[in-house]
């Protein structure tokens, strides 16, 4: 495949907040610590090494070794787990939900961005060791966000009762999903490989967390990926002081609320903090803890604790407590010697709300890096884009804007309404200058007539465009069909299609191609043409 890059800004699919971050706007400079370049990483390396205790390394390495028992870990992965004991080893982390069969394509892009950044850092800082981490969101409870994936126009859904952390869900019932999946992928060698991967993961592992670990390990173990399940009593023991502080003092609420208050003046706020940002967790529930007059209550249950009883439970059973979206980033940085978090635009938007909180609890705030994004284009689709004279940047225009642009360019009527509008506005400027020398009523009449004439001109422009679309119906149909192929449901394909679509066509070489062509520090959108 041939790779081409275009600026994220040119796709129209990234928020102003994230574009301002990429462009290092002064409006967001207080919201991050070090920028994702080698100078920023050099500073972050030193800060994190000094702040991360050796005792945490020992717990982390031992826990990961235990979590990998029964899995076919590669030598590279096992070496990375062992290397975490060394103070010169640091991590780069991405996180993702436990989507059925990896969910949308960008799951791959997140992890490959993380692996490739580790390799780039190793070249730049040869005396350090960098471990790529996939943080499984095993404690999430939004099952309806993860219980499906799309193959073509077919939505493959896992139906089962909801409730509790998804990582602990039994994989019972996924045999029926496997049968449905099998009918849609066919019987080619690549299809058989996919069916084997699905079957070995979901039919041979008892819960969703281990099934997801199996798939992720099989796809990326050659690159030394280390998979973390933070729903673990030993890891949560390290986080007890932070959770105790949260329960008693609501530290994150006060810190993040200050940032949100400033942020909402210019940007959309991604998440809002609760007064207490910790859940109570069992196999069947993950519910908010609230502070009431009579003690600490677990919402939607009969559970009520005194302060003393709750803190004792926290010390004895930390696995019964779960950080929410506001506190999860801090949990990550407490248990990992982490330099950088790689995520999508929405993820980075909520991370950028947290720097003041990290400062308050005296924890180094990690470097934040926007993951790679990819649009795959077949050779035939690329040829059709060329025939239609649609550039890669134009491909991402809203469909109505793209049609208007191409129909106008292809029209035999070469009339520029913008020129007519400019001439009309100039004429009314002259009239307005005259009106100002007479009286107020005449000036108002001029302004009203100007608005009427401009509105009429715009209506004529719309009517001409509609007429041209009818005249060029074949061109319009070709453009719509092609853009709909590439941007299903008018969104980036990486947010809709499952990786199996391309695995069926290219096999394991698809992942190798991504590995070769994704360059996270270049901060650009990648077009891959087959």
Q: Taking the model in full, what pTM does it have?
A: 0.91
What was the pLDDT predicted at 457? 55
> In Å, how far from its chain's centre is CA 192?
30
Angle among Cα 278, 333, 264 to the nearest 5 degrees reads: 65
Q: Are residues 120 and 225 in the same domain?
A: yes
Indicate whether 353 belongs to any domain: yes
Is residue 523 domain-shared with residue 403, that is, in the same domain?
no
d(CA 29, CA 466): 46
**In terms of Cα–Cα distance, which of 225, 144, 198, 72 is closest to 499?**
198
Number of structural domains the chain divides into: 3
> What is the C-alpha to C-alpha distance for residues 505 and 400, in angstroms, rounded to an integer?
32
**Among candidate residues 264, 339, 248, the one with its CA nearest the CA of residue 256:** 264
User: Tens-of-pLDDT digits for all 530 residues of the chain?
Assistant: 999 999 999 999 999 999 999 999 999 999 999 999 999 999 999 999 999 999 999 999 999 999 999 999 999 999 999 999 999 999 999 999 999 999 999 999 999 999 999 999 999 999 999 999 999 999 999 999 999 999 988 999 999 998 899 999 999 999 999 999 999 999 999 999 999 999 999 999 999 999 999 999 999 999 999 999 999 999 999 999 999 999 999 999 999 999 999 999 999 999 999 999 999 999 999 999 999 999 999 999 999 999 999 999 999 999 999 999 999 999 999 999 999 999 999 999 999 999 999 999 999 999 999 999 999 999 999 999 999 999 999 999 999 999 999 998 888 665 565 665 666 677 777 777 777 777 667 777 767 777 776 676 566 666 756 777 788 899 999 999 999 999 999 999 999 999 999 999 999 999 999 999 999 999 999 999 98
pLDDT of residue 33: 97
| Residue 76 domain flag | yes
Tokens of 245: 């502080």
472/421 same-domain check? yes
Report pLDDT for 192: 98
Burial group, residue 422, by CB count within 10 angstroms (0-12, 13-18, 19+): exposed
As a whole number of angstroms, the distance between CA 111 and CA 372 comes to: 10
Output DSSP code: residue 29: G
Q: Does 24 map to a domain?
A: yes
Q: Per DSSP, what are the bridge partners of residue 149?
A: 156
CA geometry: angle 268, 269, 274, nearest 5 deg: 160
Q: Are residues 396 and 332 in the same domain?
A: no
Q: Are residues 43 and 90 in the same domain?
A: yes
Q: How far is CA 335 from the centre of its chain?
A: 22
Q: Are residues 28 and 122 in the same domain?
A: yes
State both tokens at 373: 């994004």
pLDDT at residue number 124 = 98
SS3 content of the chain, % helix, strand, coil (to 5): 55, 15, 30
Q: Are 30 and 113 in a shared domain?
A: yes
Say which DSSP state 365 is in: P
Q: How many CB atoms lie within 10 A of CB 508?
A: 12
Assess whether 279 and 156 both reside in one domain. no
Measuring CA to CA, which residue among 333, 421, 71 is closest to residue 226? 71
Domain extent at residue 306: 240-247+269-323
| Contact call for residues 129 and 86 (beta carbons, < 8 A) | yes
Rg (CA), the chain: 27
Q: 392 and 358 in one domain?
A: no
The CA-CA-CA angle for residues 349, 352, 358, to 5°, reads: 145
Q: Are residues 331 and 414 in the same domain?
A: no
Name the nearest CA neighbour of 147 among 195, 111, 182, 97: 97
State the pLDDT at residue 469: 79
In a domain, 127, yes or no: yes
Q: Edge to edge, what strands does the sheet with 226-229 contain?
A: 226-229, 129-136, 89-96, 338-343, 367-370
Position 160 in a domain: yes
231 and 119 belong to one structural domain:
yes
**List of E strands, 258-358:** 278-281, 286-292, 295-298, 304-305, 321-323, 338-343
Q: 383 and 363, same structural domain?
A: no
Q: Which two tokens stand for residue 189?
A: 């060698």
């Amino acid at each position: 495949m041939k790779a081409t890059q275009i600026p994220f800004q040119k796709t129209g699919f990234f928020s102003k907040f994230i574009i301002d971050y990429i462009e290092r706007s002064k409006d967001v400079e207080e919201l991050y610590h070090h920028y994702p370049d080698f100078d920023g990483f050099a500073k972050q390396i030193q800060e994190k090494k000094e702040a991360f205790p050796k005792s945490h390394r020992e717990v982390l390495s031992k826990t990961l070794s235990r979590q990998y028992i029964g899995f076919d870990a590669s030598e590279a992965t096992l070496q990375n787990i062992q290397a975490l004991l060394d103070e010169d080893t640091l991590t780069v982390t991405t996180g993702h939900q436990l989507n059925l069969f990896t969910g949308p394509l960008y799951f791959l892009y997140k992890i490959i961005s993380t692996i490739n950044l580790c390799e780039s850092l190793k070249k730049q800082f040869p005396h350090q060791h960098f471990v790529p981490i996939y943080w499984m969101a095993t404690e999430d409870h939004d099952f309806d966000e993860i219980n499906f994936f799309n193959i073509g126009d077919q939505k493959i859904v896992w139906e089962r009762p909801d409730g509790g952390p998804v990582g602990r869900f039994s994989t019972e019932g996924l045999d029926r999903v496997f049968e449905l999946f099998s009918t849609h992928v066919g019987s080619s060698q690549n299809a058989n490989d996919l069916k084997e991967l699905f079957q070995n993961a979901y039919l041979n592992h008892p819960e969703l967390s281990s099934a997801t670990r199996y798939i992720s390990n099989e796809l990326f173990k050659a690159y030394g990926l280390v998979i973390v399940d933070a729903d673990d009593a030993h890891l949560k023991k390290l986080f007890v002081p932070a959770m105790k502080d949260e329960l008693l003092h609501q530290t994150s609420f006060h810190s993040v609320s200050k940032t949100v208050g400033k942020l909402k003046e210019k940007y959309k706020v991604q998440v809002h903090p609760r007064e207490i940002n910790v859940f109570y967790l069992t196999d069947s529930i993950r519910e908010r803890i609230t502070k009431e007059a009579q003690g600490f209550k677990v919402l939607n249950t009969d559970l009520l604790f005194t302060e003393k009883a709750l803190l004792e439970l926290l010390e004895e059973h930390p696995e019964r407590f779960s950080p929410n979206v506001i506190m999860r980033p801090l949990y990550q940085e407490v248990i990992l010697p982490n330099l950088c978090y790689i995520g999508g635009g929405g993820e980075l938007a909520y991370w950028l709300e947290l720097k003041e909180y990290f400062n308050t609890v005296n924890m180094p705030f990690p470097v934040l890096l926007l993951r790679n994004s990819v649009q795959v284009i077949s050779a035939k689709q690329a040829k059709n884009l060329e025939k239609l004279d649609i550039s890669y940047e134009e491909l991402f225009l809203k469909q109505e804007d793209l049609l208007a642009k191409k129909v106008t360019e292809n029209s035999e009527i070469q009339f520029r309404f913008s020129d007519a509008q400019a001439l009309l506005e100039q004429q009314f400027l002259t009239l307005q200058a005259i009106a100002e020398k007479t009286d107020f009523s005449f000036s108002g009449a001029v302004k009203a007539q100007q608005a009427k004439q401009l509105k009429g001109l715009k209506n004529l422009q719309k009517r001409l465009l509609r007429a041209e679309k009818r005249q060029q119906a074949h061109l319009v149909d070709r453009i719509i069909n092609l853009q709909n192929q590439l941007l299903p449901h008018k969104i980036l394909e990486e947010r809709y299609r499952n990786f199996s679509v391309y695995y069926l066509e290219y096999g394991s070489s698809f992942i190798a191609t991504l590995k070769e062509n994704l360059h996270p520090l270049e901060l650009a959108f990648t077009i891959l043409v087959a």
